[in-house]
């Protein structure tokens, strides 16, 4: 399982608890509440009066390949001895889930293609509203250091005023986790109609936003992400920005590194 060693086994057990059989819940309760010195399958099975096969089924039910992999992760968690409460572990785990989902869905060839598109378009605009505005500004902050002519529009008024500046040589990137941010979608629609290249970053693609986007970058979906319920909604978007940035920096790396060093030197001189 990708990245399972990074997770808290406690959180994994709790997340799967309601799906467990009664026997498996007996195993879960043991690992949640008790500590012993011998975690071999035979010793544990005898202690809680279940079969060794039940331990294996339990481990697989919560996401491991078997009991051996589970107990390795479990004992590693014990060795780390971090005194984190359930809420802290839950937040960290959600970020790990977001990274794993990003790993699963990211299209590496698409990332390379977009870095090349950025290189070929003389003017780039990035649209984002609300939390996505932070991503749009970060995008500009990162790429402008490498010499890219890029600008963000982070309100309805800014997007509307920017429409007159769009032409067929422009690249417009919209960021909307929900895929339904009306201002961003309207901005992409206008840009698309004017012949500009359009890219949408979203966790929810639909027929409407497919019609206004030449390329859709799929963002990892985590429950309640756009509502800022637990983790920052811009997190998965920023991961994608970093990946594109890395490919863009690598493409003509000497020239880009020179631009970056020059930018950093000028900032230092102004302090």
With 0-12 CB in 10 A as exposed, 13-18 as middle and 19+ as buried, what is 24? buried
How far is the C-alpha of 161 from the C-alpha of 143, rounded, in Å? 23
Q: Crossing angle of helices 235-250/253-270, nearest 10°?
A: 110
Instruction: Pull the structure tokens for residue 226.
Output: 């756009």
Instruction: Pull the structure tokens for residue 122.
Output: 């003389």
One-character DSSP codes across 108-155: HHHHHHHHHHHHH-SEEEEEE-THHHHHHHHHHHHHHTTT--EEEE-S
Q: Residue 40 in 3-state DSSP?
A: coil
| Nearest to 127, CA basis, from 101, 85, 160, 94 | 160
User: What are residue 127's DSSP bridge partners?
Assistant: 153, 174
Place of tokens 């997190």: 235
Whole-structure pTM value: 0.70
User: What are residue 216's DSSP bridge partners?
Assistant: 200
DSSP state of 98: H
Q: What residue ranges in the chain does DSSP mark as E strands? A: 123-128, 150-153, 170-175, 197-202, 215-218
DSSP state of 179: S
Q: How many residues does the chain have?
A: 271
How far is the C-alpha of 150 from the C-alpha of 133, rounded, in Å? 14
Q: Nearest-5° angle of CA 239, CA 186, CA 238? A: 5
**Tens-level pLDDT at each residue, the chain (271 residues):** 444 444 678 888 988 899 999 999 999 999 988 888 899 999 999 999 999 999 999 999 999 999 999 999 998 887 775 666 777 777 877 788 888 889 889 999 999 999 999 988 889 999 999 999 999 999 999 998 888 999 999 999 999 999 999 999 999 999 999 999 999 999 999 999 999 999 999 999 899 899 999 999 999 887 655 555 667 888 999 999 999 999 998 877 677 677 777 767 676 667 6
Which residues 6+ apart lie within 8 Å of 99 measured at CB?
Answer: 3, 220, 239
pLDDT value of residue 221: 82
Instruction: Please say whether the beta carbons of 259 and 243 come within 8 A.
Output: no
């Amino acid at each position: 399982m990708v990245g399972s060693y990074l997770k808290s086994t406690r959180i994994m057990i709790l997340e799967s608890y309601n799906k467990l059989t009664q026997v498996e819940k007996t195993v879960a309760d043991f690992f949640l509440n008790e500590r012993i010195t011998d975690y071999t399958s035979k010793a544990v099975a005898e202690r809680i009066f279940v079969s060794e096969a039940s331990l294996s089924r339990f481990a697989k039910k919560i996401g491991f390949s078997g009991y051996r992999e589970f107990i390795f992760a479990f004992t590693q968690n014990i060795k780390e001895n971090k005194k984190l409460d359930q809420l802290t572990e839950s937040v960290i785990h959600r970020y790990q889930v977001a990274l794993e989902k990003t790993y699963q869905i990211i299209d590496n060839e698409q990332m390379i293609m977009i870095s090349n598109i950025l290189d070929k378009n003389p003017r780039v605009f990035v649209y984002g509203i609300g939390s996505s505005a932070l991503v749009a500004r970060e995008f500009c902050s990162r790429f402008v250091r490498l010499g890219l002519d890029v600008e963000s529009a982070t309100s309805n008024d800014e997007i509307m005023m920017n429409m007159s500046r769009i032409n067929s040589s422009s690249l417009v990137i919209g960021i909307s986790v929900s895929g339904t941010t009306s201002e961003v979608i309207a901005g992409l629609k206008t840009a698309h109609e004017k012949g500009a290249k359009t890219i949408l970053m979203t966790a929810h693609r639909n027929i409407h936003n497919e019609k206004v986007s030449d390329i859709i970058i799929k963002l990892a979906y985590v429950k309640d992400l756009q509502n800022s319920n637990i983790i920052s909604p811009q997190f998965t978007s920023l991961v994608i920005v970093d990946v594109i940035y890395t490919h863009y920096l690598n493409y003509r790396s000497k020239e880009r590194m020179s631009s970056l060093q020059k930018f950093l030197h000028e900032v230092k001189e102004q302090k």
